[in-house]
Amino acid sequence: MFADVPEAPKDPILGLNELFREDPSPLKVNLGVGAYRTDANRPYVLGVVKRIEQELASNPNTLHEYLPIEGLSDFRTLAAQLVFGENSGALREQRVVTLQSLSGTGSLRLVAEFLGKFYHRGAICYLPRPTWGNHWNIFPRAGIECREYRYYKDKTHDVDIAGLLEDLAAAPPRSIVLLHACAHNPTGADPTPSQWQQILDVVRERQHFPLFDCAYQGFASGSFERDAMAIRLFERATLPAPETNSASGRPLEMAVTQSFAKNMGLYGERVGAAHIVCAVPSVTKPVLSQMKQIARALYSSPPAHGATVAARILKDPLLFAEWETEVQVMSSRILRMRRELFDALRENGTPGTWDHILTQIGMFSFLGLSADQCLYLRDKYHIYMTTNGRISMAGLTSDKVQYLADAIKDAVTR
Ligand code: PMP
């Protein structure tokens, strides 16, 4: 029956993990997968998460009932507040539909399915070049054609703002535009606040539908507010209203997918949310009902455990403050690794400019190495990274910095 099934290629990121596991070398370094590690290269369970889990385990009232299709009520409200801010007009006006979903990926798929079914027929989704590879799996499977917009300039290791604005201006009106809310994966290059304003201007002018993928809130800068700045800027925006010449046009419709994998370290618990910001409150009820129907067919209801933990943290100001401190500890270790790698490359005289390691933000650094150089590092030094030259700074530890810097020097000078 299945004799003709061709073997699918390994996932470029998760497949790398498998190769790493199979490598017997004691020298091996995994800079491929995007999960936080301590400086002792250990996975990290946040202290606040551990305590809540212990409480849940010892509480006889903890049950394992199904959640509703749309997820845990408290979690939905609090997750929306975290991303849109407590002063959000859309939240106050009850224009936001939120479903708890399966971390960032499941939330993206849910939104993609919804847009595929209810956004205008033939709408194209514009993805940044480059982007997180899974975007290219998710949207076409929901029947949405994807195209690229320019995002990154290899030469300057920075956002190609001119190319980006040109491509979004040339895209058919009312296209879907996927934007990384912060800590762009894989490049680590984010638009500046004034560039975000320019992006918003072109989105408004072309009446595009922005979809923010928010996988790193707090993780990029250590501040939940700063990392949600672009989302909040767009949420406050209105479409131009030429017919009335009034400044207060119709609110911009948009979507946000939110993951708690990184900022709460709840990777495997699949904690996340999909938010659709509607222009008017009257449409939220039918939109929610359709989102629920899609979720019901995909996975019926989301997992309870991680969302219960997250909701406790988000609800209690003391636990929240503790969480914020832990997020800052994680983000500052990443910043320290950036600095140490930069210094080591400078000190060992590696040719090239490496300032981008310092200016890029978030978990990843886009080193600017060729695929050939990446494979050379893997074969000779057992250093694993995706072949686009992306390294996870969170996978780097102080004791490996010199080894990595010397290996990079060898790769670029051989
Ligand atoms: N979007 C981006 C840009 C990501 O980097 C990731 C995680 N690698 C995700 C979404 C989704 O991750 P998860 O499904 O684990 O929340």
pLDDT of residue 248: 66
Taking the centre of ligand 1 as the mean of its atom positions, its distance from the CA of residue 215, in whole angstroms, is 5
CA distance 258 to 217: 8
For the chain, which residues make up each domain, given as ranges?
Answer: 14-44+330-413, 73-315
List, in sequence order, every residue forming a beta bridge with 96; answer none if it has no partner. 277
* Cβ atoms < 10 Å from Cβ of 96: 25
The ligand 1 atom nearest the CA atom of 106: 14
Q: What is the ipTM of this complex?
A: 0.99
pLDDT of residue 146: 98
Is residue 188 lining ligand 1, measured as CB closer than 6 Å? no
Query: Looking at ligand 1, which residue's alpha carbon is closest to its atom 7?
Result: 215
Q: 314 falls in which pLDDT band (50, 70, 90)?
A: very high
Please tell me the pTM assigned to this model: 0.95
Tell me which residues are annotated as active site.
132, 213, 262
Query: Looking at ligand 1, which residue's alpha carbon is closest to its atom 1?
Result: 215
Is residue 215 lining ligand 1, measured as CB closer than 6 Å? yes
Is residue 104 lining ligand 1, measured as CB closer than 6 Å? yes
Dihedral over alpha carbons 87, 90, 95, 101 (to 10 degrees): -80
Query: Looking at ligand 1, which residue's alpha carbon is closest to its atom 2?
Result: 215
The ligand 1 atom nearest the CA atom of 108: 10
Number of H helices, E strands in the chain: 16, 13
The ligand 1 atom nearest the CA atom of 272: 16
pLDDT of residue 14: 78
- pLDDT above 80 (res 244): no
Please state the three-class secondary structure of 134-168 as a single string. Answer: CHHHHHHHCCCEEEEEECEECCCCEECHHHHHHHH
Which tens digits make up the pLDDT trace of 181-235? 999 999 999 999 999 999 999 999 999 999 999 999 998 899 999 999 999 999 9
pLDDT of residue 249: 82
Q: Which CATH architecture has domain 14-44+330-413?
A: Alpha-Beta Complex (3.90)
Which tens digits make up the pLDDT trace of 86-137? 899 999 999 999 999 999 999 999 999 999 999 999 999 999 999 999 999 9
pLDDT of residue 16: 87
* Cβ atoms < 10 Å from Cβ of 410: 16
List, in sequence order, every residue forming a beta bridge with 271; answer none if it has no partner. 102
CATH of 73-315, one of 2.60.40.10, 3.30.1360.120, 3.40.640.10, 3.40.50.300: 3.40.640.10
pLDDT of residue 245: 53
Query: Looking at ligand 1, which residue's alpha carbon is closest to its atom 9?
Result: 104
